[in-house]
Amino acid sequence: MIRIGKQDRVFVLTGAGVSAESGIPTFRGVGGLWRNYRIEEVASPQAWARDPALVWEFYSMRRRVAAGAKANPAHFALAELEQKLAERLFLCTQNVDNLHEQAGSRQVLHMHGELFKSRCDTCRRPPFADEAMYEPPASLPCCDCGGKIRPHICWFGEVPFELEEIFGALDRCTVFVAVGTSGVVEPAASFVAQVGGQGRTYYVGPELPANASAFDQCFQGEAGKTLPGLFVSD
Ligand code: OAD
């Protein structure tokens, strides 16, 4: 049980594990995406420069899987927490699916981008909603400026979105909860270490993450079974 007092500010960081029970594969471990794909071939600026069709094939596949997925009890539990805490909850996800929003969460910071958005790789046109699948032999999307339209995703070697806002929220939070993330990808893996001395830190997931020793307490279990009923607010 995690007790939330009237003065507490809660930072929740979610990873692929929170969507696992919705049928979206995680990245590492058995059945993980990185078992079948090489990161440097599909998720890096170099991959985009070398073979944009292969990159779009990968993200089109992920769009197809995510489009058929439904939010699970873990997403709903976090949406309910937002109802109770309003702006005292900061929900930051590494996930690019939209299942938190599907469950009703209104304020979600997608630090690694969003699967159903694209942007131009050349001009400053803002990211836009895009659910299309760009798989060969269809031609790849182009911008009016002549640039190529790319997934709105933070690739390896790129800087995650909104880091300033995230570090501000980490500074202010008094309760930090990471859910379903292996604790190996930076900077998210180090967020727990940024929480001030007064803050309580928790992890939720079936296995201990690589950074388990940084947490005050780990709740071992699947997110969909553990999160509902985990938070008790005054
Ligand atoms: P990982 O695939 O590295 O880790 C998923 C974690 O979820 C593991 O620790 C599992 O134990 C846990 N897990 C599995 N099933 C679960 C369940 N039902 N409930 C709770 N937890 C469960 O995924 P992330 O840590 O999210 O980045 O990966 C971080 C980043 O690496 C991703 O955002 C992605 C990836 O490469 C980019 O693509 C930029």
78 and 64 in a common domain:
no
Residue 135 is predicted with a pLDDT of 86
Looking at residue 136, what is its pLDDT? 76
pLDDT at 174: 97
Q: Which atom of ligand 1 lies closest to the CA of 182?
A: 9
The predicted model scores a pTM of 0.97
Residue the block writes with tokens 């209104």:
106
Same domain, 87 and 20: yes
| DSSP string over 137-173 | TSPPPB-TTSPBEEEEE--TTSPPTTHHHHHHHHHH-
CA separation, residue 46 to residues 71, 146, 178, 223, 234 (Å): 33, 19, 31, 35, 50
Helix locations, 68-203, DSSP H: 73-85, 99-103, 163-172, 191-194
Q: How far apart are CA 203 and CA 117, in angstroms?
A: 29
Number of the ligand 1 atom closest to the C-alpha atom of 16: 26
Q: What's the pLDDT at 185?
A: 95
- The backbone torsions φ and ψ at residue 179, rounded to the nearest 5 degrees and listed phi first, read -130, 125
Indicate if ligand 1 lies below 6 Å from the C-beta of 207: yes
Q: Using omega within 30 degrees of 0 as the cis cutoff, is the peptide bond preceding 137 cis?
A: yes
Q: What is the pLDDT of residue 40?
A: 86
Q: Is residue 223 within a helix (H) or strand (E), and if so which, with residue range?
A: helix 223-226
Does 131 contact ligand 1 (Cβ within 6 A)?
A: no
How many separate domains does the chain show? Answer: 2
Q: Say whether both 50 and 36 belong to one domain.
A: yes
Local mean pLDDT, 10-residue blocks, the chain (234 residues): 96 98 93 88 95 95 96 98 97 98 98 98 97 85 96 97 98 97 97 90 98 97 97 91
- Indicate which CATH number applies to the domain containing 4: 3.40.50.1220
Q: What is the pLDDT of residue 164?
A: 98
Q: 181, 166 in Cβ contact below 8 A?
A: no
Host domain of residue 198: 1-24+71-112+160-234
The verdict on 12 and 121 lying in the same domain is no
Q: Is residue 107 located within the same domain as residue 172?
A: yes
